[in-house]
Amino acid sequence: MARTWNAVLARLGVPTGDGRIIDPAGGSSRDLPLPLSWQELSDDGHGGSRVVGRIETMRIADGMVTATGTMLEDIPYAVTEQLEAGIVGPSVDLDDIEYVMDDAERIVITQWRVAGATLVSIPAFADVSLTLDPLPAEPLSEPVADVADALWASAAPEQLPPAEWFAAPSFDALTPLTVTPEGRVFGHVAPWDQCHVGLPGCVTPPSSPSGYSYFHVGEQRLADGTVTPAGTLVAGPRHADLSAGFQAAQQHYDDPAAAVARVIAGEDEFGVWVAGWVLPEASPEAVETFKSSPVSGDWRRVGGALELIGVCSVNVPGFPVPRARVAFSSGAQRALVGAFGVTPRFGAPRSVQVSDFPAPGKPDEPGNEMERARLAWALATTEEH
């Protein structure tokens, strides 16, 4: 099956490793689709490369050249292996170039046109990437499916959550993450109108271009017999290192012993929400940690956007001082983590009004760095270290 991908092909207005600068105002593209090539052996320029995919969409904006596309079906396995290992990256192929020398004797490319891109071991820009999208779930072979169905059928109905728990909720206001006595989990983990408490100006949460597919890496069987893609909330493990890529960060949170709830994620007019249930096999200690601690989202850069890839509980300090932990590389935000409280619920549900939460501060005049920072968000509390 051909893999789709998304990528940041180039950074604009910042020097490459050898000192060249691409002027953001001078760019254009040839008619799509364009070739995506792969250089198997190091050579001059992009010599010795072969076409392994096609560039189907492209956007030149916000200081970046971003793109999406599809790999060809007959590509060598080494291409996929190297991409998943993070040891190759895209280098943009330009033509129709005009350039000048600036006062620092650097080449400034004032006019340029994208003609393609090539996967190389050492891209001109350090902070570029091409990420393969997750493979869709494939149907299992008949014998295995029969066994799986038998195993699911053997589970008592009360051991599976109602389908409505995994439906998109209809909130009428911002709602704290909530756990009911029956084990239902729902609420917001990122309000759109909440300014990040640890960054200057007013940094608000990023929307997920993929529909949270990088969070929905598991699945949940429901009481009506259907199966839905889902993500896992975990209790206990600290956040993955901020310098880690999204795949390494996902593996960090893949701890069955710490799994406490399985949920779907989505967006509404108030923010990013989750909905699901507490896993029946979760340990009482993990559930108690989950109920009594804030939960913290982890967003990682995937292609040109920050995607939610994990949510975990964190320790609450004796004297909470809100702060953010943000990773920057070459002027672009790569990762962000933050926390939002969990509210155990007893009795009938009640609405939580937006007015219950502090109003966002007045944003500062944004510059380039702030515009990049606005891609990421977290409502942070201090973690114990």
DSSP notation for 177-232:
EEE-TT-EEEEEEEETTPPPTTSSS---PPP-TTSSTTT--EEEE-TTS-EEEEEE
Give the pLDDT band of residue 243 (cuts 50, 70, 90). Answer: low
Predicted TM-score (pTM) of the model is 0.51
Distances 77 to 40, 52, 73, 84, 212 between C-alpha atoms, Å: 12, 11, 10, 11, 27
Q: What is the pLDDT of residue 306?
A: 79
Provide mean pLDDT across the span 362-368: 38
Residue ranges with strand state E in 216-355: 218-221, 227-234, 259-267, 271-278, 295-302, 305-313, 325-329, 332-340, 342-344
Q: What is the pLDDT of residue 66?
A: 92
All structural domains of the chain with their residue ranges? 4-132, 159-373
Residue-wise burial string across 219-229, b where 16 or more C-beta atoms lie within 10 A, e elsewhere: ebbbeeeeebb
pLDDT at 112 over 90: yes
Q: What is the pLDDT of residue 277?
A: 94
Q: What is the pLDDT of residue 278?
A: 92
Report how far residue 129's alpha carbon sits from residue 275's, in angstroms, rounded to the nearest whole number: 32
Distances 33 to 11, 37, 56 between C-alpha atoms, Å: 21, 13, 5
pLDDT at 89 over 70: yes
Quick: pLDDT tens for 166-214.
999 998 888 887 888 899 999 888 778 776 555 556 667 788 888 888 8
Distances 364 to 194, 202, 371 between C-alpha atoms, Å: 15, 7, 11
Report how far residue 30's alpha carbon sits from residue 300's, in angstroms, rounded to the nearest whole number: 30
